[in-house]
Structure 1
C-alpha cells in the first residue's frame, strides 16, 4: 500500500481527496492542512510520496518542495492544484516536481489521473534505487538495448554509450566515446538552444529530469526524431556524478502522425503493420474492421461475421459480457481467450476492449488483442514442474518457510518440524516467525525483515538465537530472500533455516 501525505488548506477538498484515493484500497492517505503540519508529519512518519496544493495560506507547494529537497529527501512530489498558469508549471518542474496534476473538470478523470501519477512516481523512485544498486547488470543489459543508452559526465563527455548508435546517428559509437563527435554537434539548429538549456540544468541541479522530443541531423544529412529521457545520478552527498539517459528513434511515429492526419488510407496501412491485432466491433459483436488475421483467412473475410464464433465455445459468453459492459457503462474490459486454428493448433490472445464514442454515445468497441501463446505455454510448464520443486523442498537439509509481510508462516517444509522439535500434528500456518526466535533477538529480526520487504537488504546469512518447542535454545542461521509477484512487488519472504549449534561454541547457561 502506498503511503501518501496530502497537503491542502481547503479542508473539504482535503477530506474528499483522501476518501476517493483510499477507496481503491491501494493508498493510505495522511492529511495536513498547512506547510508546517506537513513538515512535522514528514519528520515523524515515513511516506512514499507527497501530494500538495500550490497556493496555501502559509506556504506554496513549490516552497514546500524546496524545503524537503534541502533536507536531501528525494521523496516523489506531485503538485495537485487548480492553478494552471504556464509559469507555475515551468517553475514546478524546474524545482524537481515529479508531476503537475490540474484540478477541475471531470472529477472521475481528475482523480484517476492523480492516482495513476502517484503510482507512476512511486514506482519510478523504486526503479531508480534498484538501478543504483545494479549498475553492472544494467550495463550488460544495454548491449542488446533497442535504442541508445548513455552516461555522460557534467561537462558533456560520454562515459558509457550502448545500443543502436550508428544505426540512429550514422556515426560510429567510438567517435562519440573519443570526444570527436558530441551530442550537441548533431542536434538540429532549431532545437539546439532548448537542448543546451536542458543540459545546463542537468549538469547543475541534482534530481533534475528531462523528457523531451527533438531532432538530430545524421551523418548522411537525414533528419531523425528522437525521444530522450535524461536524469542525474548523484552521490550520497548529492554531487552530480553523471547524467544518464536513453534515446529512442521515433521518426517513424512522427511520420505516422503526419500520415494519419492527412488520409485514412495511410492510417489503415500503419494499423495493418501493427504488432498487435486491432479490430472494431459493433453492438452485436460483428467485425467492422480488423487489421490482420491468421492465414489463410484475410481481414476482408471477417467483416460482418461474429467475433465470438472464432473463440473457443466456452469463451463466447466472456466476449458477450465484456461488450455489454463496454456499451452500457463505457468501461474498458480485459480478458483472455483461446482461438482454435484447426484441430491441433490453438492461439491464446489477451484482449482489451474500449468504447468508441461518436456524438456522445458508444457506437463501437475497439479491441486490441496481443498474442500470449508463449506465456500460456510457460505457465503450463511451471504448473507441470511444481511437483518437482516440491520434492526438492521436502528433501532439503535446511528448513524452509515462507512468511507473509506480517511475519505469519504460510508454508513450512518437513525439516522445520525436525529443527524446532515440533509435534507432527501442530500446523505451521498462522505461527509467526518470531515465535521461533529468542526474545533478545526479535528486534533485530523485525528490523531485517522490514529492510528486505522494502528492497533495502539483499539475502545474506544472519545468526540468531532460536528456541525449540521443548524450550531448548540453540544457534541458528537464517537467510531471508524476497519473493515477488508478477508485477515485481515483494509479496512474501522465503527463509532458509539451518541449525549451526554443532559448529558453534556451546551457549552459556540461561
Structure 2
C-alpha cells in the first residue's frame, strides 16, 4: 500500500519553488503545495493538512523561524525542514534548537540536494507515523488490558508451553487466589484434575486451534468445581503459535439451579398427584391428616406441620400436627395443653400469638401455608 506524503514548501523564490516541486513529485508519492511567503503558508496550514513542511529561513514578512513557531503552536510533532541559502552556524543552531527537524543548505547541485531533501522528508514522516502508530497501539493495549482486568469472565493467557503468563482478577477468584504471583509460571493443567487433560493436550490444542468442553478444576484450597472451558490459540502474522487464551465458567451455580428446578418439578408433580388422590378419598377419612402427611414430604427436614380448620362461628381448630415428638411436646409444654383439638377464635392474632415467636422458626423453609376454606 502506497502512502501519499503531502508537503508544504514555503519560499519567496517562485522559480525555485517550481523546480523543487518538479524534483520531489517525480518520485510519485510526494505531493507538494507551494507558498510564496510565510504568511501564505500560515493560511494554507489553516485550510489543509500536511505531513511535512519545508521552509526557507529568510523570507519577507513571516520568516522561517516565525513560521516554525506558528506551526509548533499547533502541532509539536509535524516534521519541519529548513531548505535555505543561509548556512552559517548561528542560523543552523537557531533553526534546530527552535524546533526544526532538519537543515539543508541550498547550493548549485539542486538535483542532488532535492534527493537529500526527499530522503529527509521520508525519514521524518515515517518516524512520525511510527510514533503515532506506537501511541495508537499503546492506547489499544491499555484498553484491552482494562477490558481483561474488569471482565467478570475468568480469563488466563498462557505461553506456548502452557504456562500461565496472566490471569485477570476474575480468573484468580475462581481458583481462590488473590495474588497473580501465585499462579504466574504454573502450567494451566495444574489447575485441572480431569484425567483426560494432560500436558500432551497442549500440542493437540495448537493443531486444532480451538477447544471447548467441560473439566473439573481445582481451587487453591483443594476443593474442586465443574467448569466449562473455552480455549483458542494465539499466533503471529506467519501463523506460528505464541500461546493460547482460556476462559472459564463455573458450572456450580448452574448445576445447583438445575437441581433446585428438578426438585421443584418433583414437588409440583407430588402435589398434583396428591390433589388427584384427594378427590378419591372416601367420606370419614382424616383429610387433615392426609394433607399434613403430604406437606411433611415437601417441607424441609425438621419442620413442624400444623393443619387447622375454620368453622362457621370463626373458631379455629387444630386438626393435625406432624413433626418430631420432642418438638411437638415442647410446643405443648409452652401452651400448657395438647395440640390436637386446640381451639381459639379467629378474631385474635391466630395461633402464632399463642406461642412465643422463637418456638416455631424454620430458617429458609416453609413459614406459612394458607389454604382456602374447606367445605
User: TM over 0.5: same fold?
Assistant: no
Q: What is the TM-score when the length of structure 2 is the normalising length?
A: 0.35
TM-score (norm 1): 0.26
Q: Which has the higher strand share?
A: 1
Higher relative contact order (CA 8 A, sep 6+): 2
